[in-house]
Amino acid sequence: MTVRLVGKVAIVAGGAGGIGAEICRRFLEEGARVVCADKSRSRAEEVVSRLAGVDGAVSFGELDATSPESWNALAADTVARFGHLDILVTAFYSGPAGSVADLSDAGWQACFAATSSGVFFGMRACSALMRAGGAMVNIASTMAHGGAADNIGYSSAKAAVIAMSRSAAAKLAAQGIRVNLVTPGMIQTWALDSTLRALAGAAGSAEQVRQTLVGNVPLGRIGQPVDVANAVVYLASDEAAYVTGAELLVDGGTRTA
């Protein structure tokens, strides 16, 4: 098997989440040294412990994605420990669900605090220290394209991630840094389970909602975190050396239906 990330140092921000943890695992399999960065030390250290047996090296990095200072410290510490930084992945979100009718001012602001502002702070901090040949992969959402009646803050913040990633790709190309997007549809994580329960409400079941949603996916299933992680590995690797400003949909064909 080709090991595509040997010699690379990667920060996976949101590494304690369902998708983030799988990205950490796949990066390790591909030979990278990985900083699993997250606000939750307990969850991130559980991921680090679980992945300790995978080839490569993984360690915890403390990160408050809403804080520019926290990002600056994480990037600087990573370079101090490993000598360089090659890859940044942002896989996190913040804020409550809500519609245009009922999302509060504070809720709206919270949706952008990490989901979009955090991505900007991360790209800015890491681009200042990342060496030529580096790659950034930001995780967006299909909700950024179609909107979400009851999740206006999240869908809007993820739309901002798409725009800022393309803007950064245009600017950072001169430094030899690529910036791309992976845009998942429905992916099996604890967050999806919570959403299904909320959509079901008191009258129905989460499983009924799941089956209805699966019926709208041309490939006929809900995606797994590894489906997203494999796409991220490609964009982070030198196999995608001529790819920047691109968006890779990982949605089972939903956007084409």
Alpha-carbon dihedral sign for residues 143, 146, 151, 157: positive
CA nearest neighbour of 112 among 153, 56, 67, 151: 153
Tokens of 201: 């409400």
The residue from 93, 154, 234, 242 that is catalytic is 154
Half-sphere exposure of 120 (CA within 13 A, CB side): 15
Residue 154 catalytic? yes
To 10 degrees, what angle do helices 18-29 and 225-236 make? 50
Question: Residue 99: which residues within 8 A CB-CB, separation 6 or more?
Answer: 149, 150, 151, 152
> 12 and 91 in contact (C-beta within 8 Å)?
yes
Residues with catalytic roles: 154
